[in-house]
Chain A
C-alpha cells in the first residue's frame, strides 16, 4: 500500500490517481494522519503543496522516522521536504515557474533513468534547492535544460526519490512511466 501525505494541495488527487494505477493508495491530510496506515504502507509519498518545508514539521518528523525503512517519494514541496530534512537550504528563485512546461535532462549515470534523456515536464514552484548541495547518499539526477535548477534527486541506498516537477501534471510527458519505474526500483 502507498500512503500519500496531502499538504492541502490542489494537485494531490492527481498524484493519488497516478499512483493508484500501480498499487492500492491511501491519502490523508498531513494534520490528520493515521498511524496504522503509516505502519502498513510500503511507500510514503509526500505531496506537493503551498509554502515551504519549514511550515510542515510533522512531515519532517515522518520523513526522519521512516527514512531507510520505507521507500519515500516526494513531489515538489515533498521533494523540498526531503532535501530540507537532509540539511539543504530551500530558497526563493528569481524566475518563478507556475504552470510552466520546461525541458529537462537526466544528467547522472547513477539515475534509474537513462543519462542524456530529455523530456518535457510541468512545474509549479516558487522555491528551489540552494546549491551547491553535497550529500554522499543523494545524487541530483535531472536538471532543467535552461535554468539548470535541480529537478530530481535519487538515493538508491535508502530508496528515496524526489521530483521538483510534477509527474502527475498533464504537462509532463510519460509521467506514469516515471512513477512505475520508481515504484519497481
Chain B
C-alpha cells in the first residue's frame, strides 16, 4: 500500500492520529494505547515519571501543554476567564509511527462551506486602549516588550486533514503539526522550535522578526531590512538575552552559546529573523526543570517573563487554550522536541478559534500592530474559504 493511501485510510478509519513535521517530511503517529489528560495536579507526576526505553520509535509521549497549564507549572496565577472547557494539556502514547513525504495529498470534496464570518474578540478601538495601557507600563519599566493576543472565532465543522494539507502546501513550516481526535482537532503551521534536547545537549531557536517575501525581497535584502530596522533589532536582541537566561537556569556555566546569531531563514512566503542558542545541561536537571525554565516560550510572551505574564493575565478576559502553549514529544530516553503553538486553529465543540499576537515595544504603533495581527490570522482564515 503506498503511503498516501495509508494516510487517507487512517483518516477515513476514524482513528485519532497526530502528524508532526520531520526533517525530511512528516511523521504520523497513531494507534494510541494511552491518552493522558493533563491538569495542574497531575502534570508534575506525568513529567517526573520514568519509562523503560525499549528503543522502539514509538517509545514516546506526544501531545501538548496549553498556556494555562504552563502558567500553573511556574506558579503564575490566572484570574477567572471565559472558558470553553478545553483540556489544559493532552499527551498520547502511540503504537504506530509512519513516515510521510513533504507532499501530503488528500482532498475532501465535501468540505462544508459555512457562511458566517469570524468574529474578533478585541476590536480596533479596544486594542488601541490596551496598547496605550501597556505602553505606559513600558515607560515605567514594568515590562520591556509585551504581546497583545487577539482571538478570531466562528462556529464551524472542519476536516482537519484537508485543512492541514492545504496549509502545508502554502506554508511548509518546520514545526507544523496536526492532531485529530474524536472531540477536537488542532492544525498549526508553527515555525518556531522552543526545545530540542538530545542527551545533555539542548537548543532553542527563537524567531523575532518576520518579513513577507515578494519579487523585490530576497534573502540578502531581508537581512539588510532586519539589520537596518531598529525596532526589529531591539525586539530580537531582547528575546536572545531572555532565551540565553532561560537556558542558563538549566545549563552548565559557560556552555550557553549563540550558535547562529541573527540569520535569515527563508520560507515559502516569508523570511524569519532567527538565532540558534545551544547549551549543555547541568547534571541532575530533569525534564520538568527544563519545561519550567523554558515555557511558555519567551518570544511570544514578552520580557521580562514573570511580570509580563502577570500583566497579560490580568488583561485577558478569555482563556488562551493552546495558543502560546507547546506541542511536541518526550521520548522514553528523555530526549525532547517542543515547539511554540502559534499560527494554529483549534476546533472544539464545532467552533474554530485562531489566536494571534503582536508585540508592543516602546516605538510600535497600535494601528500597525492591529493590522499585523490580522495579516497573521488571514492565512488561516483563508482556509475556511
Query: Does A12 sit within 8 A of B, measured CB to CB?
Result: yes
Chain-B contact segment, one of A58-66, A91-99, A108-116, A136-144: A91-99
Q: How far is the CA of A176 from the CA of B244 in the complex (A)?
A: 15
Interface: A79 (CB within 8 A): no
Q: Is the interface of B mostly helix, strand, loop or mixed?
A: helix
Please count how many residues in chain B sit with their CB below 8 Å of the partner chain's CB atoms: 35
Contact call B304/A96, Cβ cutoff below 8 A: no
Q: Which of A9, A17, A122, A124 contacts B248 (CB 8 A)?
A: A17
In A88-139, the 8 Å CB interface with B consists of 92, 96, 98-101, 122, 124-127
Q: In the complex, which residue of chain B has the Cβ closest to the Cβ of A49?
A: B304
Is B234 a contact partner of A21 (Cβ separation < 8 A)?
A: no
Taking a contact as CB atoms under 8 Å apart, the answer to whether A101 and B237 are in contact is: yes
User: Taking CB as reference atom, which chain A residue is nearest B253?
Assistant: A20
Q: Mark B235-255, 1 if CB is under 8 A from A, else 0.
A: 111101110111011000110
Known: A21-B254, A98-B138, A126-B140. A11 touches B362 (CB 8 A): no
- Hey, which chain A residues are within 8 Å of B248, CB to CB? 13-14, 16-17
Q: Does A171 contact B (CB under 8 A)?
A: yes
A1-38 vs B, Cβ < 8 Å mask (1 yes, 0 no): 00000001111111011001100000000000000000
Partner of A9, one of B235, B258, B304: B304
Query: Is A14 a contact partner of B244 (Cβ separation < 8 A)?
Result: yes
Q: Residue on B with the closest CB to A176?
A: B254
Residues 39-50 of chain A, each 1 if its beta carbon lies under 8 Å from chain B, else 0: 000000000011
A-B contact count (CB 8 A): 100
Q: Is the CB of B242 within 8 A of A52?
A: no
Which residue on A lies nearest to B141, using beta carbons? Answer: A126
Q: How far is the CA of A142 from the CA of B197 in the complex (A)?
A: 41
Name which residue of chain B comes closest to A172, CB basis: B241
Q: Measured between alpha carbons, how far is A124 from B239 in the docked complex, in Å? A: 12
Q: Which of B241-284 contact A (CB under 8 A)?
A: 241-242, 244-246, 248-249, 253-254, 256, 258, 261
Q: Please report the C-alpha to C-alpha distance between residue A10 and residue B308 in the assembled complex, in whole angstroms.
A: 10
* Closest chain A residue, CB of each to CB of B306: A8
Q: Are A98 and B249 in contact (CB under 8 A)?
A: no
Q: How far is the CA of A12 from the CA of B304 in the complex (A)?
A: 10
- Minimum Cβ distance to chain A for residue B238 (Å): 4
Q: Is B345 an interface residue (CB 8 A)?
A: no
Bound Cα distance A96, B307 (Å): 18
Q: Which of B141, B145, B235, B246 has the most CB of A within 10 A?
A: B141
What A residues does B304 contact at CB under 8 A? 8-11, 49-50
Q: Which residue of A lies closest to B251 (CB)?
A: A17
Asked whether A96 lies within 8 Å of B245 as measured between CB atoms, the reply is no
Question: A10–B234 Cα gap in the complex (Å)?
Answer: 15
B307 near A50 with CB under 8 A, answer yes
Query: In the complex where A49-B304, A99-B234 touch, is A125 in contact with B244 (Cβ < 8 A)?
Result: no
Cα distance, A92 to B138, chains bound together (Å):
10
Known contacts A13-B245, A17-B253: does B144 contact A98 (CB below 8 Å)? Answer: yes
Measured CB to CB, the residues of B under 8 A from A are 138-145, 233-238, 240-242, 244-246, 248-249, 253-254, 256, 258, 261, 298, 303-307, 361-362
- A interface vs B, CB < 8 Å? 8-14, 16-17, 20-21, 49-52, 77, 92, 96, 98-101, 122, 124-127, 166, 169-171
Instruction: In the A-B complex, list the 6 residue pairs whose CB atoms are closest, starting with the nearest.
Output: A99-B234, A126-B141, A99-B237, A10-B304, A13-B248, A99-B238
